[in-house]
Amino acid sequence: MKADLLEISNLDKTFDSPQGKTQALQKIQLAVKEGEFVTIIGPSGCGKSTLLKIVAGLDTGHEGSVLLGGQQVSGPGIDKGFIFQEPRLFPWLTVEKNIAANLPLKYPHIHNRVQELIRLVRLEGFEKSFPRELSGGMAQRVAIARALLRNPKVLLLDEPFGALDAFTRAHMQEVLLDIWQENKTTMIFVTHDIDEAIYLANRVVIMNARPGSIKSIIPIDLPYPRKRANRSFQELRHLILSQFEKVEELVLMDRSGI
Protein backbone atom coordinates (compact mmCIF):
# COMPACT_ATOMS: atom_id res chain seq x y z
CA MET A 1 0.00 0.00 0.00
CA LYS A 2 1.45 3.33 -1.07
CA ALA A 3 1.69 6.20 1.41
CA ASP A 4 -0.47 9.30 1.30
CA LEU A 5 1.26 11.95 -0.80
CA LEU A 6 -1.36 14.67 -0.26
CA GLU A 7 -3.20 15.18 3.03
CA ILE A 8 -5.94 17.81 3.33
CA SER A 9 -7.42 18.28 6.80
CA ASN A 10 -10.25 20.56 8.02
CA LEU A 11 -9.79 22.90 5.06
CA ASP A 12 -11.99 26.01 5.12
CA LYS A 13 -11.89 28.85 2.59
CA THR A 14 -13.81 32.14 2.88
CA PHE A 15 -13.83 35.01 0.40
CA ASP A 16 -14.40 38.61 1.48
CA SER A 17 -16.43 40.95 -0.73
CA PRO A 18 -18.30 44.25 -0.36
CA GLN A 19 -21.46 42.17 0.18
CA GLY A 20 -19.87 40.26 3.06
CA LYS A 21 -18.17 36.93 3.55
CA THR A 22 -18.77 33.89 1.34
CA GLN A 23 -17.63 30.47 2.47
CA ALA A 24 -16.33 28.57 -0.56
CA LEU A 25 -14.99 25.42 1.13
CA GLN A 26 -15.98 23.78 4.40
CA LYS A 27 -14.17 21.05 6.36
CA ILE A 28 -12.53 19.38 3.37
CA GLN A 29 -10.89 16.07 4.32
CA LEU A 30 -9.04 14.27 1.54
CA ALA A 31 -5.98 12.04 1.25
CA VAL A 32 -4.42 11.12 -2.10
CA LYS A 33 -1.87 8.34 -2.40
CA GLU A 34 1.33 8.58 -4.41
CA GLY A 35 0.67 7.62 -8.04
CA GLU A 36 -3.11 7.84 -7.67
CA PHE A 37 -5.43 9.43 -10.26
CA VAL A 38 -8.31 11.30 -8.58
CA THR A 39 -11.07 13.20 -10.35
CA ILE A 40 -13.27 15.84 -8.70
CA ILE A 41 -16.80 16.67 -9.87
CA GLY A 42 -19.54 18.89 -8.49
CA PRO A 43 -21.93 21.71 -9.44
CA SER A 44 -20.62 25.03 -10.70
CA GLY A 45 -19.44 27.26 -7.88
CA CYS A 46 -18.84 24.42 -5.40
CA GLY A 47 -15.15 25.30 -5.03
CA LYS A 48 -13.48 22.64 -7.19
CA SER A 49 -11.07 25.09 -8.82
CA THR A 50 -10.48 26.88 -5.52
CA LEU A 51 -9.51 23.57 -3.91
CA LEU A 52 -7.07 22.86 -6.75
CA LYS A 53 -5.47 26.31 -6.43
CA ILE A 54 -5.01 25.82 -2.68
CA VAL A 55 -3.24 22.50 -3.28
CA ALA A 56 -1.07 24.25 -5.90
CA GLY A 57 -0.11 26.93 -3.38
CA LEU A 58 -1.71 29.64 -5.56
CA ASP A 59 -4.15 30.50 -2.77
CA THR A 60 -2.80 30.48 0.78
CA GLY A 61 -5.54 32.44 2.55
CA HIS A 62 -7.35 29.50 4.12
CA GLU A 63 -7.76 27.62 7.38
CA GLY A 64 -6.79 24.00 7.86
CA SER A 65 -3.84 21.92 6.74
CA VAL A 66 -2.59 20.96 3.26
CA LEU A 67 0.45 18.67 3.33
CA LEU A 68 2.32 17.49 0.23
CA GLY A 69 4.92 14.85 0.94
CA GLY A 70 4.59 15.68 4.63
CA GLN A 71 5.36 19.38 4.10
CA GLN A 72 2.86 22.21 4.52
CA VAL A 73 1.95 23.82 1.19
CA SER A 74 2.81 27.51 1.61
CA GLY A 75 3.10 28.65 -2.00
CA PRO A 76 3.69 27.51 -5.58
CA GLY A 77 6.74 25.41 -6.38
CA ILE A 78 8.24 22.96 -8.85
CA ASP A 79 6.83 20.04 -6.86
CA LYS A 80 3.35 20.99 -8.13
CA GLY A 81 2.38 21.20 -11.80
CA PHE A 82 -0.80 23.07 -12.77
CA ILE A 83 -2.76 22.81 -16.04
CA PHE A 84 -5.36 25.52 -16.69
CA GLN A 85 -8.39 25.33 -18.97
CA GLU A 86 -6.38 27.18 -21.65
CA PRO A 87 -2.83 26.14 -22.66
CA ARG A 88 -1.32 29.57 -21.89
CA LEU A 89 1.67 29.10 -24.19
CA PHE A 90 4.16 31.79 -25.18
CA PRO A 91 3.15 32.62 -28.78
CA TRP A 92 6.69 33.68 -29.75
CA LEU A 93 8.28 30.38 -28.69
CA THR A 94 8.36 27.02 -30.48
CA VAL A 95 6.93 23.85 -28.97
CA GLU A 96 10.27 22.71 -27.55
CA LYS A 97 11.08 26.15 -26.14
CA ASN A 98 7.62 26.43 -24.57
CA ILE A 99 8.20 23.10 -22.84
CA ALA A 100 11.67 24.15 -21.67
CA ALA A 101 10.23 27.48 -20.45
CA ASN A 102 13.15 29.43 -18.95
CA LEU A 103 15.65 26.57 -19.17
CA PRO A 104 18.25 26.66 -21.99
CA LEU A 105 17.98 23.86 -24.54
CA LYS A 106 21.71 24.07 -25.25
CA TYR A 107 22.36 21.86 -22.22
CA PRO A 108 22.12 18.16 -23.22
CA HIS A 109 20.21 17.03 -20.12
CA ILE A 110 17.53 19.70 -20.67
CA HIS A 111 17.33 19.04 -24.41
CA ASN A 112 17.01 15.30 -23.83
CA ARG A 113 14.32 15.77 -21.19
CA VAL A 114 12.32 18.03 -23.54
CA GLN A 115 12.60 15.48 -26.36
CA GLU A 116 11.46 12.74 -23.97
CA LEU A 117 8.38 14.79 -23.06
CA ILE A 118 7.63 15.56 -26.71
CA ARG A 119 7.55 11.82 -27.35
CA LEU A 120 5.43 11.24 -24.24
CA VAL A 121 2.73 13.71 -25.37
CA ARG A 122 2.89 12.49 -28.99
CA LEU A 123 4.20 15.67 -30.61
CA GLU A 124 7.15 14.28 -32.56
CA GLY A 125 7.70 16.37 -35.68
CA PHE A 126 6.24 19.54 -34.15
CA GLU A 127 9.28 20.57 -32.10
CA LYS A 128 9.86 23.74 -34.15
CA SER A 129 6.18 24.65 -34.56
CA PHE A 130 4.67 27.76 -32.99
CA PRO A 131 1.41 27.78 -30.97
CA ARG A 132 -0.52 29.38 -33.87
CA GLU A 133 0.30 26.28 -35.93
CA LEU A 134 -1.16 23.85 -33.38
CA SER A 135 -4.67 22.57 -32.75
CA GLY A 136 -6.27 23.10 -29.34
CA GLY A 137 -5.48 19.56 -28.25
CA MET A 138 -1.88 19.82 -29.39
CA ALA A 139 -1.42 23.11 -27.55
CA GLN A 140 -2.79 21.54 -24.36
CA ARG A 141 -0.34 18.65 -24.77
CA VAL A 142 2.50 21.21 -24.85
CA ALA A 143 1.17 22.68 -21.60
CA ILE A 144 1.09 19.23 -19.99
CA ALA A 145 4.65 18.50 -21.11
CA ARG A 146 5.82 21.84 -19.69
CA ALA A 147 4.17 21.05 -16.35
CA LEU A 148 5.94 17.68 -16.24
CA LEU A 149 9.40 19.08 -17.08
CA ARG A 150 10.61 19.22 -13.48
CA ASN A 151 8.97 15.94 -12.43
CA PRO A 152 6.37 17.40 -10.03
CA LYS A 153 5.06 15.28 -7.19
CA VAL A 154 1.49 16.06 -8.25
CA LEU A 155 -0.11 17.29 -11.47
CA LEU A 156 -3.24 19.42 -10.95
CA LEU A 157 -5.59 19.76 -13.92
CA ASP A 158 -8.46 22.28 -13.91
CA GLU A 159 -10.91 21.16 -16.62
CA PRO A 160 -8.09 21.02 -19.18
CA PHE A 161 -10.22 19.46 -21.94
CA GLY A 162 -13.40 21.51 -21.42
CA ALA A 163 -12.92 23.67 -24.53
CA LEU A 164 -12.12 20.77 -26.88
CA ASP A 165 -14.48 19.00 -29.27
CA ALA A 166 -15.65 15.50 -28.33
CA PHE A 167 -13.22 13.65 -30.62
CA THR A 168 -10.19 15.65 -29.48
CA ARG A 169 -11.28 15.35 -25.86
CA ALA A 170 -11.43 11.55 -26.11
CA HIS A 171 -7.98 11.52 -27.72
CA MET A 172 -6.57 13.75 -24.97
CA GLN A 173 -7.96 11.43 -22.31
CA GLU A 174 -6.00 8.57 -23.89
CA VAL A 175 -2.83 10.70 -24.04
CA LEU A 176 -3.20 11.67 -20.38
CA LEU A 177 -3.71 8.06 -19.29
CA ASP A 178 -0.59 7.05 -21.23
CA ILE A 179 1.37 9.79 -19.43
CA TRP A 180 0.01 8.74 -16.03
CA GLN A 181 0.70 5.07 -16.57
CA GLU A 182 4.23 5.68 -17.87
CA ASN A 183 5.28 8.44 -15.42
CA LYS A 184 3.29 7.30 -12.35
CA THR A 185 2.66 10.99 -11.60
CA THR A 186 -0.05 11.64 -9.01
CA MET A 187 -2.91 13.47 -10.75
CA ILE A 188 -5.91 15.43 -9.48
CA PHE A 189 -8.31 16.33 -12.27
CA VAL A 190 -11.33 18.67 -12.02
CA THR A 191 -14.13 18.05 -14.52
CA HIS A 192 -17.88 18.53 -15.07
CA ASP A 193 -18.05 15.37 -17.20
CA ILE A 194 -19.11 12.26 -15.25
CA ASP A 195 -18.01 9.88 -18.01
CA GLU A 196 -14.60 11.55 -18.10
CA ALA A 197 -14.31 11.31 -14.32
CA ILE A 198 -15.00 7.56 -14.37
CA TYR A 199 -12.89 6.86 -17.45
CA LEU A 200 -9.75 8.39 -15.96
CA ALA A 201 -9.78 7.94 -12.22
CA ASN A 202 -8.99 5.47 -9.48
CA ARG A 203 -11.43 7.45 -7.30
CA VAL A 204 -14.10 10.06 -8.03
CA VAL A 205 -14.67 12.78 -5.44
CA ILE A 206 -18.19 14.26 -5.51
CA MET A 207 -18.56 17.72 -3.98
CA ASN A 208 -21.61 19.39 -2.49
CA ALA A 209 -22.66 22.87 -3.49
CA ARG A 210 -21.38 25.99 -1.71
CA PRO A 211 -20.05 25.94 0.80
CA GLY A 212 -18.12 23.22 -0.99
CA SER A 213 -17.68 20.01 0.95
CA ILE A 214 -17.06 16.40 0.02
CA LYS A 215 -20.31 14.47 -0.34
CA SER A 216 -18.79 11.12 -1.18
CA ILE A 217 -15.76 9.38 -2.67
CA ILE A 218 -16.43 6.57 -5.15
CA PRO A 219 -13.67 4.01 -5.89
CA ILE A 220 -13.45 3.03 -9.57
CA ASP A 221 -12.33 -0.59 -9.59
CA LEU A 222 -12.34 -1.06 -13.36
CA PRO A 223 -9.33 -2.25 -15.36
CA TYR A 224 -7.70 -0.03 -17.98
CA PRO A 225 -8.42 0.54 -20.82
CA ARG A 226 -12.05 1.17 -19.90
CA LYS A 227 -15.09 0.78 -22.13
CA ARG A 228 -17.86 3.33 -21.64
CA ALA A 229 -20.49 0.89 -22.92
CA ASN A 230 -19.43 -1.73 -20.38
CA ARG A 231 -22.14 -2.63 -17.87
CA SER A 232 -19.92 -1.98 -14.84
CA PHE A 233 -19.00 1.44 -16.24
CA GLN A 234 -22.67 2.31 -16.73
CA GLU A 235 -23.56 1.12 -13.22
CA LEU A 236 -20.92 3.44 -11.77
CA ARG A 237 -22.19 6.24 -13.98
CA HIS A 238 -25.73 5.72 -12.67
CA LEU A 239 -24.49 5.67 -9.07
CA ILE A 240 -22.51 8.90 -9.45
CA LEU A 241 -25.24 10.61 -11.47
CA SER A 242 -27.83 9.82 -8.79
CA GLN A 243 -25.63 11.42 -6.11
CA PHE A 244 -24.83 14.36 -8.37
CA GLU A 245 -28.54 14.92 -9.02
CA LYS A 246 -29.19 15.02 -5.27
CA VAL A 247 -26.56 17.75 -4.97
CA GLU A 248 -28.23 19.70 -7.79
CA GLU A 249 -31.62 19.33 -6.08
CA LEU A 250 -30.21 20.85 -2.89
CA VAL A 251 -28.80 23.75 -4.94
CA LEU A 252 -32.22 24.46 -6.45
CA MET A 253 -33.94 24.22 -3.06
CA ASP A 254 -31.42 26.65 -1.56
CA ARG A 255 -31.94 29.14 -4.40
CA SER A 256 -35.72 28.96 -4.06
CA GLY A 257 -35.60 29.34 -0.27
CA ILE A 258 -37.24 26.00 0.42
Q: What is the pLDDT of residue 256?
A: 41
Verify that 30 and 105 share a domain, yes or no. Answer: no
Write out pLDDT tens, residues 26-60.
999 999 999 999 999 998 888 999 999 999 999 98
pLDDT above 90 covers what percent of the chain?
81
Q: What is the CATH number of the domain that holds 55?
A: 3.40.50.300
**Does the structure show a pLDDT above 90 at 229?**
yes
**Whole-Å CA distances, 240 to 158, 200, 202, 213:** 20, 14, 14, 16
Verify that 167 and 218 share a domain, yes or no. Answer: yes
Query: Which residue, 151, 178, 207, sits at the end of a domain?
Result: 151
Verify that 162 and 45 share a domain, yes or no. Answer: yes
Verify that 71 and 98 share a domain, yes or no. Answer: no
Verify that 42 and 107 share a domain, yes or no. Answer: no
Query: Which residue, 118, 133, 151, sits at the end of a domain?
Result: 151
Verify that 201 and 245 share a domain, yes or no. Answer: yes
The answer to whether 100 touches 92, Cβ cutoff 8 Å, is no
Domain span holding position 165: 4-79+154-256
Verify that 11 and 42 share a domain, yes or no. Answer: yes
Q: What's the pLDDT band for 170 if we cut at 50, 70, 90?
A: very high
Q: What's the pLDDT band for 2 if we cut at 50, 70, 90?
A: confident
Q: What is the mean pLDDT of the chain?
A: 91
